Chain A
Amino acid sequence: MRYQLTRRAVLAVYAVLVIVPLVVVIFGSFKTSQELFASPFAPPTDWQSGNYQKVIGESGLGIAFRNSVIVTGLSVPLTLFIASLASYGIARTTGWKSALLFGFIVLGMAVPAQANMIPQYVQFETFGLTNSLFGLVLINIVTTLPIAVFIMTGFLKTLPKELFEAAAVDGSGPWRTYHSVVLPVSVPSLSATAIFLFVIHWNDLLYPLLFINEAEKRTIPVALLSFQGEFLTDYPLLFTGVVVASAPIVIAYVFLQRYFVAGITAGAVKG
């Protein structure tokens, strides 16, 4: 009895601590500063879209949003494709060479971004890949390859050998086996990895901050960060930015929650 009471109390309090700030943010994005400060928890008396117009139009979050869509839209499928090819090759070969290859790529997970970002910047600068959305796609692929290979190789190794043997017996070469056997049976793990990559690439701040200094090439997190200086304590505008920046991920979360939990957790367990 006492246990159930404690349990309910703890869960209720924590649910309030998660939900209330989020509600304040959503309500706040429709308010003026005065209204937000006067009654932060109340729904807006008048649902005004003025903040949204200002944030998306004048402050350039609209352009940043488009850039983020382009960068994430290319980074996620390309990383998945390249990593799934590698994982298939690694999972289907044996011996020390295969193990070494796997270890070598996966070792990249142990290198924190801040450890090689400076030489990467120099390199991208030399190749003319700074201030370029393509450069961001490339760096996203490179930095998330190790973990994507790790997650997908782990999955492919759990597949029964008979699956591949049957394909080989049917005369299917490695490439055909990859796209007609491996990809179809990997849909759940590919989806989970895709969501994991989507969250990382969409939310990434470090590389765009490092590589981009033209305002028109900014992605969402950098544009949002720049609000801090621009609007200082104009919280309704900051909140509007938060809502716009999070919208695609939140919508995806509502529909694909299972994959979010699987993907982000697999990333944590394995990373």
Chain B
Amino acid sequence: MSTTLTPASPPETPTLPTSEKPSGRSPMAAHPALWLFPVPALVLYVTFFVIPTIQGVVYSVTDWDGFSPTAQFVGLDNFITIFTNDDLFRNAFSNNIKFMLVVVVFQTIFSLVLAVFLTRNSKSSVALRSIFFFPTILSSVSVAFIWKFIYDPNFGLINTVLDAVGLDQFQSAFLGNDAQAIYWVAITQVWFHVGQMMIIYIAGLQQIPQELYESAQTDGASRWQQFRHITLPMVAPATAIVMAYTTVQSFKAFDLILGLGGNPPKSSLDILSTRIYSGFANSQFGYAAAESLVFMALIASITWIQRRAVKATNPDV
């Protein structure tokens, strides 16, 4: 995928004959001092990342409120409550799954369609790619504010346009409609990141040998058949990346939810990451730490299942 991703091409370097060794050490062997180079990174990473992660496991079996000097050991109580007796968590979980499904399906399909249409490096394609990619660089809060206005029930762009063209029966309260709110946020998420996934697909599509299409054409294959039997199987590795990344992204959509749903978000927009944050904000450190672990295990297992599914359908990915 290097064609559009990394413009790096290392310069040619003259190779000296390796027989002239000024020092006794072979230049092929690693200099021992090389082991010192990762030390700063390692120290910071262990101190401020690894240790807190382990600390989280310790908190998760306590009822610590974040302030008291002591905390009660509660065993697996937090986890039992999460799974059996926590409507807020269950609500956030179900919202998150709905959100994920819509985002993964639409973002994968749209990004592939746009990529297929923009595979060739013509001037207009390159220009459109940079336009479609643009929203990705904005902050989630910015994107949330733009879409707050688009969805505004009274003054918003969608309802204004529907009114102007006489389709006011389709006007909606959007985020104000609790049954639909999470899906509207999902659409915003797709608008936000579809361009990024499109670029991944374009890199994959540009690797497909043109001869495959040429010979298919001489065999009289239709465009749809070519897409179905050449493009789709050939971009399977890109699809795997897009789906995995989109899935993780939809669990991390914390900022977008806070921007569109308020802080703390209303319950129809609460997802797992915002739920954990609320637990933290309400001083339920032990409980929120347990939720965090469940959250992490959930993401890991969904990613794992996806990878298995992709491998099962495409053995060569």
Chain B min CB distance to A32 (Å): 13
Number of A-B contacts (CB under 8 A): 312
- A15→B131 contact, CB < 8 A: yes
Residues of B contacting A36 in the complex (Cβ-Cβ under 8 angstroms):
155
Q: Tell me if B117 and A89 are in contact (CB < 8 A).
A: no
The answer to the question of B61 belonging to the interface, with a C-beta cut-off of 8 Å to chain A, is no
| Chain B contacts for A105, CB-based, 8 A | 38, 41-42, 45
With contact pairs A257-B130, A261-B133 given, residues A118 and B59 touching in the complex (Cβ less than 8 Å):
yes
Residue in B closest to A250 when the chains form the complex, CB atoms:
B137
A85-B41 contact, Cβ under 8 Å, with A225-B258, A228-B259: yes
Interface membership of B44, Cβ < 8 A: yes
A168 interfacial by beta-carbon distance below 8 Å: yes
Bound-state Cα–Cα, A110 to B288, Å:
19
Spell out A's residues near B (CB within 8 Å): 3, 7, 10-11, 14-15, 17-22, 24-25, 28, 36-37, 40, 82-83, 85-86, 88-90, 92-94, 101, 105, 108, 110-123, 138-139, 141-143, 145-146, 149, 155, 158-166, 168-171, 173-175, 178, 185-186, 188-189, 192, 199, 202-203, 205-206, 209-210, 220-221, 224-225, 227-229, 233, 235, 238-239, 241-242, 245-246, 249-250, 253, 257-258, 260-262, 264-266, 268-269, 271
The closest CB in chain A to the CB of B276 belongs to A114
A40 nearest CB across to chain B (Å)? 6
Name B121-139 residues within 8 Å CB distance of A: 128-139
Closest Cβ neighbor of B132 among chain A residues = A18
A-B contacts besides A118-B276, A120-B49, 9 pairs, CB < 8 Å: A10-B114, A17-B191, A116-B55, A165-B15, A166-B14, A221-B140, A225-B258, A245-B141, A269-B241
Instruction: Report Cα–Cα, A199/B143, bound state, in Å.
Output: 14
Give every chain B residue within 8 A of A233 (Cβ-Cβ).
152, 155
Chain A residues with CB under 8 A of B150: 21
B131 touches A162 (CB 8 A): no
Tell me if B165 is interfacial: C-beta within 8 Å of chain A: no
Given contacts A90-B38, A118-B59, contact A111 B296 (CB under 8 A): yes
CB-CB under 8 A from A160, the residues of chain B are 10, 13
Within the complex, the shortest CB–CB distance from B130 to chain A, in Å, comes to: 6
Contact residues in A for B59 (Cβ distance below 8 Å) = 118-119
Interface size classification for chain B? 35 or more
Q: Are B134 and A18 in contact, CB atoms less than 8 angstroms apart?
A: yes
In the bound complex, residues from chain A placing their C-beta under 8 Å from that of B5 are: 261-262, 265-266, 269
Q: How far is the CB of B268 from chain A (nearest CB, A)?
A: 17
Of B52, B157, B160, B277, the contact of A114 (CB 8 Å cutoff): B277
B20 interface residue (CB < 8 Å to A) = yes
Q: How far is the CB of B176 from chain A (nearest CB, A)?
A: 12
Give min CB distance, B299 to chain A, whole Å: 6
Chain A hits for B147, CB < 8 A = 21
Q: Contact: A202 with B223, CB < 8 Å?
A: no
Contact B141 A171 (CB under 8 A): no
Cβ of B79 within 8 Å of any chain A Cβ, yes or no, is no
